[in-house]
């Protein structure tokens, strides 16, 4: 076990995969100098510019090259800097990577990991602060992951590279400096949630950085005598129906919390599934309002779902 940051855990994961398989390559803007968050630090010096490839500023070209590399037998890690920029290359993800395996009878596979950092990036405004995981969850043919801890960023990134399918890998823009213990021998199973706190009164499901606010809310709820069970979904697609449904059946109260806009967010899928499956379970969603994230702190705050918001919603649900 070693203590490291979320970014260092990602570097370690890619390092181990590149050491184990010469077909693993990295491409994107600024990856040669370590990436804008340090998530590729030292990799080009170690593996060379032919495997850690700096690209022009063209997301469509980067993603198109990644798809072609994957179809040719490589296992590319494709860097988009932030999810907001990936929108310039959506056709390559939606119509090429996601569909190739199905359109050609499995003759081609696209074992590509596309890293798209999500979430509100302090004082970075509307074009650099989006959480778009529900867009990709709606897309058949891709895996969607949202690691919240250094351990998960290590284990899940390695699992993503080993999956053999296109993976939309969504790290949070403000988690890079978060520290935690990392066990390099610990493997992750994609599609498996993790119960962070056990409880009997209400189930709270969340993912990525929003879990921090949820943990604070659980502490506040405990002062009111409400024992919340907190679940880190980790994998948006496939998602762990069994863990969520089992918890909801136990507590009979479900609150789904995410940083993304509430309207048509992935929380709606979870809430609907529980409502359709668990008889007598009260269900509620909590997400951001349908507004662009503001630049000024006072405006940015309007898009944040706080621990107080979560605690109030859970108390109302469990009343």
Other C-beta atoms within 10 Å of 247: how many?
25
Residues 53, 58, 61, 65, Cα dihedral to 10°: 20
Q: Which residues pair with 288 in a beta bridge?
A: 261
**What are the residue boundaries of the structural domains of the chain, listed by start?**
2-182, 194-318
Equal fold, 2-182 vs 194-318 = yes
- According to the model, what pLDDT value does residue 143 have? 98
Q: What one-character DSSP code corresponds to residue 269?
A: H
- CB-side neighbour CA atoms (13 Å) of 85: 18
Which candidate, 101, 60, 107, 104, places its Cα nearest to that of 80?
Answer: 60
Contact at 8 Å (CB) between 37 and 82?
Answer: no
- According to the model, what pLDDT value does residue 1 have? 87
- Residues that are catalytic: 128
Contact at 8 Å (CB) between 239 and 193?
Answer: yes
- Beta-carbon contacts of residue 152 (< 8 Å; ≥ 6 apart): 188, 234
Q: What is the pLDDT of residues 59-95, one digit of tens each?
A: 999 999 999 999 999 999 999 999 999 999 999 999 9
Residues 160-171 have a mean pLDDT of: 97
**In whole angstroms, what is the distance from residue 275 CA to residue 62 CA?**
41
**In whole angstroms, what is the distance from residue 92 CA to residue 95 CA?**
6
Q: Which helix (H) or strand (E) holds 88?
A: none
Q: What is the pLDDT of residues 16-47, one digit of tens each?
A: 999 999 999 999 999 999 999 999 999 999 99
CATH topology of domain 194-318: Rossmann fold (3.40.50)
- According to the model, what pLDDT value does residue 319 have? 82
Q: What is the pLDDT of residues 186-226, one digit of tens each?
A: 999 999 999 999 999 999 999 999 999 999 999 999 999 99
For domain 2-182, the CATH superfamily is Thiamin diphosphate (ThDP)-binding fold, Pyr/PP domains (3.40.50.970)
């Amino acid at each position: 076990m070693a203590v490291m940051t979320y970014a260092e855990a990602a570097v370690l994961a890619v390092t181990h995969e590149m050491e184990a398989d010469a077909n693993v390559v990295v491409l994107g803007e600024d990856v040669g100098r370590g990436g804008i968050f340090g998530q590729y630090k030292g990799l080009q010096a170690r593996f060379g510019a032919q495997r850690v490839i700096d690209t022009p500023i063209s997301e469509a070209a980067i993603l198109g090259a990644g798809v072609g590399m994957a179809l040719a037998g490589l296992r590319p890690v494709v860097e988009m800097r932030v999810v907001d920029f990936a929108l310039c290359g959506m056709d390559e993800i939606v119509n090429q990577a996601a569909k190739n395996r199905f359109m050609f009878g499995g003759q081609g596979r696209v074992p590509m990991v596309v890293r798209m950092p999500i979430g509100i990036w302090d004082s970075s405004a509307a074009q650099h602060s989006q959480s778009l995981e529900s867009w990709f969850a709606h897309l058949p043919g891709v895996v969607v992951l949202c690691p919240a801890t250094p351990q998960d960023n290590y284990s899940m990134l390695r699992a993503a590279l080993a999956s053999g399918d296109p993976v939309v890998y969504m790290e949070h823009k403000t988690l890079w400096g978060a520290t935690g213990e990392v066990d390099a021998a610990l493997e992750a199973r994609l599609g498996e949630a993790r119960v962070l706190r056990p409880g009997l009164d209400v189930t709270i499901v969340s993912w990525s950085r929003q879990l921090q606010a949820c943990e604070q809310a659980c502490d506040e709820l405990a002062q009111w005598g409400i024992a919340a069970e907190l679940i880190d979904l980790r994998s948006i697609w496939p998602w762990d129906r069994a863990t969520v449904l089992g918890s909801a059946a136990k507590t009979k109260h479900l609150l789904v919390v995410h940083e993304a806009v509430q309207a048509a967010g992935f929380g709606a899928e979870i809430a609907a599934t529980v409502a359709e499956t668990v008889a007598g379970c009260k269900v509620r969603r909590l997400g951001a309002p349908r507004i662009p994230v503001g630049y000024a702190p006072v405006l940015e705050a309007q898009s944040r779902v706080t621990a107080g918001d979560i605690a109030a919603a859970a108390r109302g649900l469990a009343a």
